[in-house]
Structure 1
Amino acid sequence: MSARVVFLEINSLPKEIPLANITANCTLLTYSNTQQSEVLERAKNATIIVVNKLILDQSILSSCPDLKMIAVSATGMSNVDIEYCQRNNILVTNIVGYAQQTVAEHTLMMMLALQRNLLSYRQDVNDGKWSKSPYFFYGGHEIIDLYGLSLGIVGSGAIGQKVFDLAKAFGMKAYFIARKNTQEKTGNSKKLPFEQGLKQADIISIHCPLTNETENLIAQKEFAMMKNTALIINTARGGIINEMALIEAIQEKQIKGVALDVVTHEPMPADHPLHAISSLDNVIITPHCAWLSDGSLETLIHQLIYKINHFLSAYST
Structure 2
Amino acid sequence: MRAVFLDRSTISEDIDLSPIESHVTTISYFEHTANEKVIFRAKFAEIIISNKVMITAEIINQLPKLKLICIAATGTNNVDLVAAQKAGIAVCNVSGYANTAVTQYVFAMLLEYLQKTSHYIENSRHGHWQNSPVFCHFGLPINELATKKIAIIGYGALGKQVSKIAKAFAMEVLIAERKSASTIRPGRVSFEQAISSADIISLHAPLSIETENLINQQSIKAMQTGVIIINTARGGLVNSIDLLAALKSKKVGAAILDVLEHEPPAHDHPLLNAKLDNLLITAHIAWGSLQAQQRLINRLADNIKSYQQGVQLNRVV
TM-score by length of 2: 0.91
Shift of 1:280: 2.9
**Conserved in 1, the CA contact under 8 Å of 2:3 and 2:24?**
no
**Matched-pair contact (CA < 8 Å) for 1:85–1:92:** yes
1:88 equivalent in alignment to 2:84: no
- Residues 31-89 of structure 1: per-residue CA shift (max 9 Å, x gap): 22211221122123321111010111111111112221100111111111112223332
Structure 2 gap segments, 5+ residues each: 312-317
1:126 shift after superposition: 4.2
1:267 partner SS: coil
Partner Cα distance (1:28, 1:16) in 2: 16
Identity of aligned residues (%): 36
TM-score in terms of structure 1 length: 0.91
> Could you tell me how far apart the structure 2 residues matched to 1:285 and 1:58 are?
34
Question: Take 1:129 and 1:139, find their aligned partners in 2: how far apart are those partners?
Answer: 9
Query: How do 1:290-309 residues align onto structure 2 when only pairs under 5 Å count?
Result: 290-309=286-305
For residue 11 of structure 1, what is the amino acid of its counterpart?
S
For 1:12, the equivalent position in structure 2 comes to: 10
Which stretch shows the higher mean deviation, 122-131 or 106-115? Answer: 122-131
Residue of structure 2 equivalent to 1:207? 204
For residues 230-257 of structure 1, give each alpha carbon's deviation from its aligned partner in whole angstroms, at most 9, with x where no partner exists: 1000011111111111111100111111
Question: 1:176 — aligned with what?
Answer: 175
Taking only aligned residues, the RMSD between alpha carbons, in angstroms, comes to: 1.9
Q: Distance in 1 between matches of 2:24 and 2:218?
A: 57
Deviation digits for residues 261-303 of structure 1 (CA, Å, limit 9, x no counterpart): 11122223432211233x4332211111111112111211111
Residue identity in the other structure for 1:216: N
2:96 maps to which residue?
A: 97
Against the structure 1 CA distance between its residues 256 and 25, is the aligned structure 2 distance closer, same or farther, given a 3 Å change threshold? closer
Is 1:260 equivalent to 2:257 in the alignment?
Answer: yes
- What secondary structure, in the 3-state scheme, does the structure 1 residue paired with 2:271 have? helix
CA distance in 2, matches of 1:302, 1:174: 33
Q: Separation in 1 of the partners of 2:57 and 2:177?
A: 34
Q: Paired residues, what number?
A: 310
Equivalent position amino acid for 1:160 in 2: G
Larger RCO (CA under 8 A, 6+ residues apart)? 2
Instruction: Write the letter of the residue equivalent to 2:307.
Output: F
Closer, same or farther: CA 310–181 of 1 in aligned 2, 3 Å: closer
Deviation at 1:185, TM superposition (A): 2.2
CA distance in 2, matches of 1:182, 1:288: 30
Instruction: Report if aligned partners of 1:153, 1:174 keep a CA contact under 8 Å in 2.
Output: yes
Q: How does 1:127-166 map to 2 (within 5 A)?
A: 127-166=126-165
CA distance in structure 1 between the partners assigned to 2:289 and 2:307 by the alignment: 27
Hey, what does 1:229 align to over in structure 2?
226
- Determine whether 1:251 maps to 2:248: yes
Q: Among residues 193, 198, 205, which one is paired with 2:195 in the alignment?
A: 198
Which of 282, 286, 289 in structure 1 is aligned with 2:285? Answer: 289
Aligned pair in 2 of structure 1 residues 25, 276: CA closer, same or farther (>3 Å)?
A: closer
Instruction: Between 12-21 and 111-120, report the one with greater CA deviation.
Output: 12-21
